[in-house]
Amino acid sequence: MSLVPTDQELAISVEISGLGESLWAKSEKVTGLFSDREMLSVLMYRRLWSNHRAFVQLWRNALATEADIILLSGLEAAISIAANRQLGSHFGTLVLQNAAFTVLGQIDMHRENDDPRRAAEDEEILRGITAGLPEGVKPAKIDFRALAREGGVPRLYEWHRQLSSVSSHVTGVSIIYGVADETEQARKMQARWHELSNKMRPMMMCSATLTGSLHHAEVIGSAGHLEAARELTERMDKISRLWPCGSG
């Protein structure tokens, strides 16, 4: 198996980038409130498209760790776009719950640092966020595994978990991958990491962008982009059958 993207994979990645650029150009013209399903999708697609472009630059410059960090963010954006398309207004509630959860953490930090002024400021922000929550709904952290299940994109979560474990976060495994070692076990781990970095990381990013584009185009009602995304998805599904075992 090739340890770098094939000509076919590189060709479809160029088409996916073209789709993303065109879809974002249309998305910039969408207007609405934060609470609108379409506007939420636009905000998340902006993040995904930004991640895609940053990943391409980092990968081309052999900055694998930095590219992985951006890829992780892109996977989260694609998972969220798919969940928003499926869950509708309930997804907006999940976003507000997560925002409230985050601000609560900031308040606790300010109190630990004996900074009552900043704690009071964030408490005011928290009241504004929770005012938009349905009665009885409390702050909660977003569960990307559950979001991926709801959005019908479990493969994206598998990749998200893989990246979190072995490269994007500073862990024992991620450090071992970057250390030269003559032991057979270390060589096998490093060979696997290089294989995934050189071949699968670009395909993961392209898959996330394509998946996000498919669901986003449907939400904002862009028929032409939706048709193009479906055609590319069919082709990507065939290509992905040749990917290494464990890649989704």
10 Å CB burial of residue 131 (0-12, 13-18, 19+) is exposed
Q: What token pair was written down for 74? A: 């892109």
Six token digits for residue 205: 């990013």
Residue 245 pLDDT level (bands cut at 50, 70, 90): low
200: CB partners within 8 A, 6+ apart: 243, 244, 247
pTM: 0.87
Which are the contacts of 178, defined by CB distance < 8 A and separation ≥ 6? 65
Q: How confident is the model at residue 167 (pLDDT cuts 50, 70, 90)?
A: low
49-99 tens-digit pLDDT: 999 999 999 999 988 888 989 999 999 999 999 999 999 889 999 999 999
| Spatial separation of the C-alpha atoms in residues 94 and 137, rounded to whole Å | 10
What is the C-alpha separation between 149 and 143, in angstroms, rounded? 10
The total of other beta-carbon atoms located within 10 Å of residue 189's CB is: 17
Report the 10 Å Cβ neighbour count for 35: 13
Residue 71 near residue 51 (C-beta atoms within 8 A): yes
Task: Note the pLDDT tens digit of each residue in 192-239.
Answer: 666 666 778 999 999 999 999 999 999 999 999 999 999 999 999 999
The rounded distance, in Å, linking the Cα atoms of 46 and 34 is 14
119-131 pLDDT, tens digit per residue, is: 999 999 999 999 9
Taking each helix axis as running N to C, give the angle between helix 201-220 and helix 154-166, from 0 to 180 degrees, rounded to the nearest 10. 140
